[in-house]
Amino acid sequence: MARLDGKTAVILGAASAGNMGQVIARLFASEGATVMVAGRHEGPLKSLAEEIGGHYAICDITDRGQVQAMAAKAKADMGRVDAAINCTGWGLLASLVETTEEQLDQIVDLQFKGTHHFLQAFVEQMIAQEPSGGSLISLSSATTKALINNHAAYIGTKRGTEALIECVANDYGPQGIKANTVSPAFTESPMTADSFQVPGLVDAFLPKYPMGRLNTSEDVANACLWLCTDEAFLTGQNIQPNGGVTLRGNPQATDIERSVGAAMAAQAGDG
């Protein structure tokens, strides 16, 4: 029997081809779940929903009304919500002194207020359904434990979401709700595609991973899958499917500059 047979799931942040949300959605569907994918762009959502035999909803997480409407549509389309996963985020790369007020407002709206909207909508849904309960996951980042330069607003808001998850776990466990954080590290995905083309950049990160490779979207999806099964008896935790980078810490700006500089010099020499 598939591990999610008879269960339903909502994956928010699945509107870009091949992104982490889409990888999670495909895995959940392959394990028997009925899946609703959601995000801001209808075309890729509709296509993915048709591919996996699921549903889709248009939703901007920064708009509380849209998040509430997405949760209501999930209930209407699937009858209940057993799992809801927030995959949204913005990897703002800017030092604290360079970050503008506009950027700060945008990242707070997306990564903190938006996550609050998401958790609020699905906690309400999961309390009201019979039987009550479900699994809530918000994707954070290994950088909240293994700091990296020029990510203050990103790290600050992601840490805030980890606190929200802990509060949900503490307050709503009696209603059968599990709430956990999953924290990828530097992952090859559409969002990081340009970074992976920079000579020497990946080389700066690899020595920091005890398991010898960067994590993949599939690693993250498998962690989410387990958390949403009945096998996972835990809540309020921050799961790190990233090969142990938090043990050694991310490379700092000087490490990255050194690695990229050496790679570019080697390329110039080869030329």
Handedness of CA 164, 165, 171, 177 (dihedral sign): positive
Domains held by the chain: number? 1
Q: Do residues 192 and 46 make contact, with C-beta atoms less than 8 angstroms apart?
A: no
Is residue 263 in some structural domain? no
Is residue 258 in some structural domain? no
Is residue 270 in some structural domain? no
**pLDDT band (50, 70, 90) for residue 271:** low
**pLDDT band (50, 70, 90) for residue 262:** confident
Per-residue pLDDT for 11 more than 70? yes
Is residue 157 in some structural domain? yes
Is residue 1 in some structural domain? no
pTM score over 0.85: yes
Q: What whole-number distance in Å separates Cα of residue 162 and Cα of residue 126?
A: 20
What range does the domain containing 243 cover? 8-191+212-248
Is residue 266 in some structural domain? no
Is residue 262 in some structural domain? no
Tens of pLDDT, residues 34-65: 999 999 999 999 999 999 999 999 999 999 99
Is residue 2 in some structural domain? no
Beta strand segments in the chain, E: 8-12, 34-39, 55-58, 83-86, 134-139, 177-182, 238-239
**pLDDT band (50, 70, 90) for residue 100:** very high
**pLDDT band (50, 70, 90) for residue 229:** very high
Concatenated DSSP letters for 64-106?
HHHHHHHHHHHHHHHSS-SEEEE---------TTT--HHHHHH
Specify the CATH number for the domain of residue 230. 3.40.50.720
How much is the mean pLDDT over the chain?
95
